[in-house]
Amino acid sequence: VSGQAKKLTIGLIPADGIGKEVIPGARQVLEALPNIGVDSPSFNFINLDAGFEYFQKNGTALPEKTLEIMKNECDGALFGAVSSPSHKVAGYSSPIVAMRKHLDLYANVRPVVSVASEKDFSQKNVDILIIRENTECLYVKQERQTTDESTGLKVAWAERKISEYASRRCGKMAFEMALGRDKFRQNIPLEKRFWKGKPKVTIVHKSNVLSITDGLWRETVRVVKENDHKYDSVDMEEQLVDSMVYRLFREPHYFDVVVAPNMYGDIISDGAAALVGSLGVVPSANVGDKFVMGEPVHGSAPDIAGQNKANPIAAIRSAGLLLEHMGFHQQALHIYNAVDEVLRRGEYLTPDLGGRATTQQVVDAVIKLVQ
Ligand code: ATP
Ligand code: MG
């Protein structure tokens, strides 16, 4: 209905450790958003259980109810962090993996963006979106061990799965997001844009070695563009993962959208996060065709949990990313700008960025700029 604010229902799953501190901060920022334009959403939040701590009390890491409510009542969700026990715990499996599966969140999307900061945490001019396929590759975990007959020594094997189905939909997401980012950038004055050219998708692979699996990945993603004129305005290129990484560190401003199979994507996206500062500032989103779940890249950080010094920025940006992927571009940009300004001023920074502010002080500083 035009002119009427849309009400979005967001599931909040703080889960473990600092997730319990940063997710409430992100919620406060969403609640503080003023009306921007006619389609400004209002929010309804539902707190949901999951995590290792929940498992220890209740014997399950992901109650059925959490999934049901997410599927039936929520427009999107924001996840905190889950502790991973260092040793195998009987009956425990990661709730985030299960949620991705049940909600069909088949790609993990990670923007890596420079901040123009006086304190300079980052290299300049980086604005990359990394899309990591999230359902297959070596993560199918088909491992086995045999014995080499001639030497009597152990041999370990891992099977890797690449399907045309998963590669195609991930490729499609990459081209769609390249167009979406291009549109999103129209909201930003040209002199402030880090990426000024045509949208570009870089396909990462290693098909010179893995010609069947990576060959299928590469070919399938290529064909997505070749078969659809909709993507004519998007440039496409390929890079072998090793040279891509070299380039990522030397010329990070060279990349726009990067799409990679699960394992390469995992490694590249952590490496790229190092280009722009602390783990505490990097957001991500788990994306499917029907649902989006924002999630800070960092874990539960048991070493600092409960001390009110976790950096809430990754979680706040994840809330922005959630809005961006739900189509609320102006609202998302409003959050990103407020966060950038807090970082640029450097007045309220948590210890991971060399400051002395508490989690809540950073949240309050962002809110002040958002309102
Ligand atoms: P997990 O098993 O949950 O991943 P971890 O020990 O690997 O836990 P991470 O959360 O991945 O911890 O964090 C790695 C390091 O980065 C820790 O020293 C942690 O304190 C720091 N860190 C992570 N997130 C933040 C944050 N939001 N603010 C400040 N420091 C952080
Ligand atoms: Mg970790």
Ligand nearest to the CA of 279: 1
Q: Give me ligand 2 centre to Cα 156, in Å.
A: 25
User: Ligand 1 centroid to 33 CA: how many Å?
Assistant: 28
Q: Which residues line ligand 1 (CB under 6 A)?
A: 18, 81, 83-84, 279-280, 298-304, 310-311, 314, 350, 352
pLDDT at 91: 87
Q: What type of residue is 65?
A: K
CA 278 / ligand 1 centre spacing (Å):
10
CB 108 within 8 A of CB 286: yes
Which of the listed residues 83, 84, 304, 316 should we mutate to test ligand 1's pocket, taking the one with most ligand atoms within 8 A of CB? 304
pLDDT at 319: 98
Residue 34 per-residue DSSP state: P
Nearest-10 crossing angle of helices 95-102, 64-73: 40
Mean pLDDT, residues 80-84 = 91
- Report the amino acid identity of residue 136: E
CA distance 285 to 368: 25
* pLDDT given for residue 1 in this prediction: 39
CA-nearest residue for atom 6, ligand 1, is 301
| pLDDT, tens only, 211-244 | 999 999 999 999 999 999 999 999 999 999 999 9
Name the token pair of 290.
């029907």
For atom 4 of ligand 1, which residue has the closest CA?
Answer: 299
CA distance 367 to 338: 8
The model's confidence at residue 106, banded by pLDDT at 50, 70 and 90, is very high
Residue of the CA atom closest to atom 7 of ligand 1: 299
Indicate which ligand has the atom closest to the C-alpha of 296. Answer: 1
Q: Which ipTM did the prediction report? A: 0.94
Cα separation of 215 and 164, whole Å?
11
- pLDDT average, residue stretch 329-348: 93
Q: Which atom of ligand 1 is nearest to the CA of 296?
A: 27
Convert the pLDDT of each residue in 278-306 to its tens digit: 789 999 999 999 999 999 999 999 999 99
pLDDT on residue 118: 52
Percent of the chain with pLDDT over 90: 78
Cβ count near 153 (within 10 Å):
8
pLDDT at res. 116 = 57
Rounded Cα distance between 93 and 84, Å, is: 9
How high is the pLDDT of residue 191? 80
Ligand positioned closest to the Cα atom of 273: 1
Helix (H, G, I), strand (E, B) or coil at 117: coil
Provide mean pLDDT across the span 155-177: 97
Which of the four pLDDT bands, split at 50, 70 and 90, describes residue 184? Answer: confident
> What is the mean predicted confidence (pLDDT) over 182-210?
90
Question: In a 10 Å sphere around its CB, with 0-12 CB exposed, 13-18 middle and 19+ buried, how is residue 343 labelled?
Answer: buried
Which of helix, strand or coil describes residue 16?
coil
Q: Are 93 and 81 in contact (CB under 8 A)?
A: no
Per-residue model confidence as pLDDT tens digits over 1-40:
344 568 999 999 999 999 999 999 999 999 999 988 777 8
Tokens of 209: 């070695």
194 has a pLDDT exceeding 90: no
- Model confidence over 241-279: pLDDT tens digits? 999 999 999 999 899 999 999 999 999 988 888 887 678
Inform me whether the pLDDT recorded for 47 exceeds 50.
Answer: yes
- Give the span between the Cα atoms of 5 and 49, in whole angstroms: 28
Least confident of 69-78, 102-111, 190-199, 220-229: 190-199
Question: How many other CB atoms are found less than 10 A from the CB of residue 274?
Answer: 14
Ligand nearest to the CA of 301: 1
Range of lowest pLDDT (64-68, 111-115, 158-162): 111-115
The segment with the largest mean pLDDT, out of 145-154, 264-273, 346-355, is 145-154
Other beta carbons within 10 angstroms of residue 68's beta carbon come to: 12
Share of the chain above pLDDT 70, in %: 96
Note the pLDDT of residue 6: 84
Alpha carbon 234 to its chain's center? 22
Give the torsion through C-alpha atoms of 223, 226, 231, 232, to 10 deg: 160
Ligand nearest to the CA of 303: 1
pLDDT attached to residue 3 = 45
**Which atom of ligand 1 approaches the CA of 314 most closely?**
27
Judged against a pLDDT cut of 80, whether residue 121 lies above it is answered with no
Ligand 1, atom 17, residue with closest C-alpha: 301
Identify the DSSP state of 71.
H
Are residues 166 and 224 in contact, defined by beta-carbon separation less than 8 angstroms?
A: no
Pocket of ligand 1, candidates 279, 295, 308: which has the most ligand atoms within 8 Å of its Cβ, to mutate? Answer: 279
CA-315 nearest atom, ligand 1: 27
Whether residue 279 contacts residue 352, with contact meaning beta carbons closer than 8 Å, is answered with yes
| Beta strand extents in the chain (DSSP E only) | 7-15, 42-47, 76-81, 107-113, 127-133, 137-147, 154-161, 200-205, 235-240, 257-260, 285-287, 292-294
C-alpha 184 to ligand 2 mean position (Å): 31
Distance 283 CA to ligand 2 centre (A): 14
| Structure token digits, residue 210 | 């893995």
